[in-house]
């Protein structure tokens, strides 16, 4: 296996590659769906990933949205969904490894919360945009027309599927190199990801990372005159109250309850207790 040289952490595909991709797509567009790019385009993506694939079909599948196959009857290959499933696990393990070594004094709950934030859809989509992955995704016509290349949901899934493809083709080190390249600066500066974050989103990401059910917010009291209402909410996990908060609006009360829940929840062996 031949690997390309490692590029700097902050890496953008050069304009020549973007222009070449754009021209090829303009000349090879079908009414039903986009025709898969020629091998030259996959080679360009290999350069961005710093990895030459021994099995190019892995790379092709990792870039194929289900809508492309749905609109292209008779097209060989698989979409990215199975790879995305594997990539989610690979990413979680490698982020856990990075955080374990970066923050030896953090407890399990703190590590789990930060990992959940790093693996959030918005962060993954941002990392995918940094690489310019959107230019290479195989989409059906409907997704193209609704700007699927810019959707956080698609970009985050594709990034995870690419990590799985790297893992299967080049082993754990190939995936690790990509994760370190994309996330090292974020791991080194936790505050950069927490600015402007809301407690409800943070709680949901933590529960999702631990494969726990989503929280339920229960209004337990509403008081005060119509012009000055007070709300009190509990946040429940499996029917158990783990936080409570008050506020002048339902939204603020729920945020306060979620913030308290984050302080009360403990993570042991990857499970909420």
Domain-located, residue 20: no
pLDDT tens per residue across span 191-232? 766 555 678 888 888 888 888 888 999 999 999 888 788 899
The total of structural domains in the chain comes to: 2
pLDDT tens per residue across span 123-176? 999 899 988 888 899 988 888 888 888 899 999 999 999 999 999 999 999 999
DSSP character at residue 103: -
Q: Let me know whether 165 and 214 are in one domain.
A: no
Domain-located, residue 26: no
Active site residues: 88, 160
Q: Let me know whether 223 and 242 are in one domain.
A: yes
DSSP character at residue 136: G
Q: Which two tokens stand for residue 12?
A: 């953008």
* pLDDT, the chain, mean: 82
Domain-located, residue 162: yes
Max alpha carbon distance in the chain (Å)?
72
Among residues of the chain, what percentage have pLDDT more than 70? 81
CATH number at residue 47: 1.10.1520.10
Q: Let me know whether 103 and 51 are in one domain.
A: yes
Residue 224's domain spans which residues? 199-272
Q: How far is it, in rounded angstroms, from Cα 261 to Cα 258? A: 5
Q: Let me know whether 181 and 209 are in one domain.
A: no
Q: How far is it, in rounded angstroms, from Cα 108 to Cα 115? A: 10
Domain-located, residue 8: no
Which of 195, 222, 250 is where one domain is finished? 195
Q: Let me know whether 223 and 179 are in one domain.
A: no
The model carries a pTM of 0.64
Query: What pLDDT score was predicted for residue 76?
Result: 64
Which of 153, 179, 195 is where one domain is finished? 195
Which of 195, 216, 231 is where one domain is finished? 195
Domain-located, residue 17: no
| End-to-end CA separation in angstroms for the chain | 45
Q: Let me know whether 171 and 207 are in one domain.
A: no
Q: Let me know whether 175 and 219 are in one domain.
A: no
Q: How far is it, in rounded angstroms, from Cα 76 to Cα 74? A: 6
CB burial of residue 257 (10 Å; 0-12, 13-18, 19+) = buried
Q: Let me know whether 145 and 46 are in one domain.
A: yes
> How far is CA 44 from each of CA 18, 180, 245, rounded to the nearest angstrom?
9, 21, 52
Query: What pLDDT score was predicted for residue 10?
Result: 37
Q: Let me know whether 102 and 158 are in one domain.
A: yes
Q: Let me know whether 120 and 233 are in one domain.
A: no
Q: Is the pLDDT of residue 32 over 90?
A: no
Query: What pLDDT score was predicted for residue 74?
Result: 56
Q: CA torsion, points 115, 83, 168, 100, in degrees to nearest 10?
A: 10
Instruction: State the residue for tokens 């360009």.
Output: 44
Q: Which two tokens stand for residue 260?
A: 């308290």
Q: Which two tokens stand for residue 85?
A: 């499933």
pLDDT tens per residue across span 52-62? 999 999 999 99
Domain-located, residue 227: yes
Would you place residue 28 in the very low, low, confident or very high pLDDT band (cuts 50, 70, 90)? very low
Domain-located, residue 264: yes
Q: Let me know whether 224 and 104 are in one domain.
A: no
**Sign of the torsion angle spanned by Cα atoms 120, 14, 175, 67:** positive
Domain-located, residue 203: yes
Q: Let me know whether 162 and 257 are in one domain.
A: no
Query: What pLDDT score was predicted for residue 113?
Result: 85
Q: Is the pLDDT of residue 36 over 70?
A: no
Q: Which two tokens stand for residue 168?
A: 């299967």
Q: Is the pLDDT of residue 43 over 90?
A: no
CATH number at residue 257: 3.30.160.20
């Amino acid at each position: 296996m031949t690997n390309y040289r490692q590029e700097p952490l902050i890496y953008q595909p050069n304009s020549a590659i973007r222009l070449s991709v754009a021209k090829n797509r303009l000349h090879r567009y079908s009414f039903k769906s986009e025709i898969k790019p020629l091998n030259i385009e996959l080679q360009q993506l290999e350069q961005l990933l710093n990895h030459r694939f021994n099995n190019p079909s892995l790379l092709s599948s990792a870039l194929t949205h289900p809508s492309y196959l749905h609109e292209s009857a008779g097209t060989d290959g698989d979409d990215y969904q199975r790879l995305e499933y594997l990539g989610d696990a690979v990413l979680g393990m490698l982020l856990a490894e990075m955080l374990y070594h970066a923050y030896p004094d953090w407890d399990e709950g703190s590590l789990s919360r930060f990992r959940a934030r790093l693996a959030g859809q918005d962060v993954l989509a941002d990392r995918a945009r940094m690489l310019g992955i959107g230019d290479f995704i195989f989409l059906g016509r409907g997704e193209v027309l609704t700007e699927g290349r810019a959707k956080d949901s698609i970009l985050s899934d594709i990034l995870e599927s690419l990590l799985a493809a790297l893992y299967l083709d080049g082993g754990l080190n190939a995936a690790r190199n990509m994760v370190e390249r994309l996330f090292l600066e974020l791991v080194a500066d936790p505050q950069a990801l927490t600015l402007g974050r809301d407690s409800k989103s943070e709680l949901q990401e933590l529960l999702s990372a631990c494969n726990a059910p989503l929280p339920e917010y229960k209004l337990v009291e509403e008081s005060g005159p119509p012009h000055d209402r007070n709300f009190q909410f509990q946040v429940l996990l499996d029917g158990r109250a783990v936080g409570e908060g008050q506020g002048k609006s339902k939204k603020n009360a729920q945020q306060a309850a979620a913030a308290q829940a984050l302080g009360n929840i403990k993570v042991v062996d990857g499970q909420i207790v």
